[in-house]
Amino acid sequence: MANALVGTLTAFDSQTQTWEEYVEVLGHFFVANEIEDGEKKRAILLSSVGSRTYSLMRTLLSPDKPGERSYGELTDLLQSHFNPKPSEIVQRFKFNSRKRAAKEIVAEYVAVLRELAHHCSYGDKQKEMLRDRLVCGIADDRIQRRLLAEPELTFEKALKVALAMETASRYVRDLQLQALDGSVHISVFEKNRIPQVERCTVCCTEHHCPICPTSVYKPRCRSKVLQHMEVHVKNAIQYEELFITKCHQACRSGCTGGHFHCPFCSKTVLKRQDTVRHLKLCRQPLNDRKLDADADCREMGTSQTAECKGASVDPPRNLTTDKLPAFVHSRAMDPPCRLRRPKLPTVHCPHCNVAFLRKNIRKHIYRRHNDKAHRDIAAKSHLDAVCIDETNGIYAVTICAFSCPQENLGETAQNQV
């Protein structure tokens, strides 16, 4: 009685796996069942590969039959058909030019690098090339500085450090965002924590917008208010994981057009562009501040706990203040929040010598010096002209300053005609 086979084989499907993977599964099947005979391997391949792939074999081998070829020849034939070997030069170019995308995590980036390096034929140098590409294409200054500071860096060590720092950045960002809860205005909320719309039980039975007062947006049905909230989110300022929407509450005296609240201080800003500039001055990105200080302390062989968290709030001299955590800064060290607008270029009017912005000078000349301005030529508006040759119908506009008498100009025009 024949021994039962271990494992099962399925038909090959080019949509779900590559031919190289299918051949690897066949090899494991042969090892598990101790099959070493070449003819038996060929028979198992032809009987389990599926009708579609078997028909393709007959077409590629015509007029020969698949049973007349060896197991190695059949696998090589289908390998060249389904997965032809790509150009080594092109694959190395793709590998050396691959950089980490903006929102791509380190694990996904390394997986793509491994796949690209598969056909680069680096041999024993593959681990070194993966390490170099990881350090050069990580697209994160903080992680890159840490990796370059490591002596005798290997690919495994570089991957471990990059994954650890990425995870720590995500944890710090989550902790700092949770610390902001309850201390920020309702118009500032996290990306996945939009204020809920609830039915009013005080003044009406409709739903209120949690951001706008009733004088700006009257209570409506739930669906209308949800659509209104989508507009708030669409027009909000995105900073890290926060959405900063325009507030129409009476938070700022004398303001009727709305304003923006800073999530890190008590200031309110009127314009959107000024709010973006204020955020850059008021707070650094959440995921870079504390970890940068820790990395700098380790590189210099000092302890942040001993030097930066002592009784004195003055930072060490060997650390820059722009990389210290928030609790190390004193109020005197905070950057100023006053916004300096750039001075726009001005020009002087050639008629009255009054200074105006460049974009307003034409409107000023048209309004105040209409008689001296150059009007557009149209069917009902044209420049004043003087006839200098009635026979040939030659006219000259009077705005030009003639350097010769009109009689001489007429003779010159006749000669040219």
Report the C-alpha gap between 89 and 121 in whole angstroms. 10
Q: What does DSSP assign to residue 238? A: E
Q: How many CB atoms lie within 10 A of CB 104?
A: 12
Same domain, yes or no, for 169 and 235?
A: no
The answer to whether position 14 is within a domain reads no
Q: Which domain holds residue 355?
A: 343-373
The mean pLDDT values, 10 residues at a time, for the chain of 417 residues are: 72 85 88 86 87 87 85 86 82 91 88 88 90 91 89 91 88 66 73 80 85 85 88 86 84 79 84 86 56 48 43 43 42 49 79 85 84 60 74 70 46 47
pTM, two decimals, is 0.43
The answer to whether position 8 is within a domain reads no
What is the residue type of 352? C
Give me the pLDDT at residue 176, please. 61
Give me the pLDDT at residue 311, please. 38
What is the residue type of 294? D
Same domain, yes or no, for 101 and 141?
A: yes
The answer to whether position 2 is within a domain reads no
Report the C-alpha gap between 355 and 110 in whole angstroms. 59
Report the C-alpha gap between 239 and 49 in whole angstroms. 54
Cis peptide bond upstream of 151, omega within 30:
no
Give me the pLDDT at residue 376, please. 58
Same domain, yes or no, for 67 and 116?
A: no
Q: How many CB atoms lie within 10 A of CB 306?
A: 10
Same domain, yes or no, for 192 and 278?
A: yes
The residue written with tokens 């004195």 in the block is: 312
Where is the domain boundary, 63, 82, 101? Answer: 82
Whether 261 contacts 278, CB under 8 Å: no
Q: Which run of H or of E encompasses 397? A: strand 394-397
Report the C-alpha gap between 270 and 276 in whole angstroms. 11
Same domain, yes or no, for 169 and 100?
A: yes
The answer to whether position 13 is within a domain reads no
Where is the domain boundary, 179, 205, 228? Answer: 179
Q: Which run of H or of E encompasses 106? A: helix 106-117
Same domain, yes or no, for 268 and 194?
A: yes
Torsion of CA 143, 147, 149, 151, to 10 degrees: 160
Give me the pLDDT at residue 1, please. 40
Where is the domain boundary, 55, 82, 109? Answer: 82
Report the C-alpha gap between 290 and 169 in whole angstroms. 9
* Share in percent of the chain as helix, strand, coil (round to 5): 45, 10, 45
Same domain, yes or no, for 303 and 359?
A: no
The answer to whether position 49 is within a domain reads yes
What is the residue type of 140? D
Torsion of CA 253, 257, 262, 267, to 10 degrees: -20
What is the residue type of 111? A
Please give the radius of gyration of the chain, using alpha carbons only, rounded to the nearest integer.
38
Give me the pLDDT at residue 253, please. 73
The answer to whether position 252 is within a domain reads yes
The answer to whether position 109 is within a domain reads yes
Overall domain count for the chain: 6
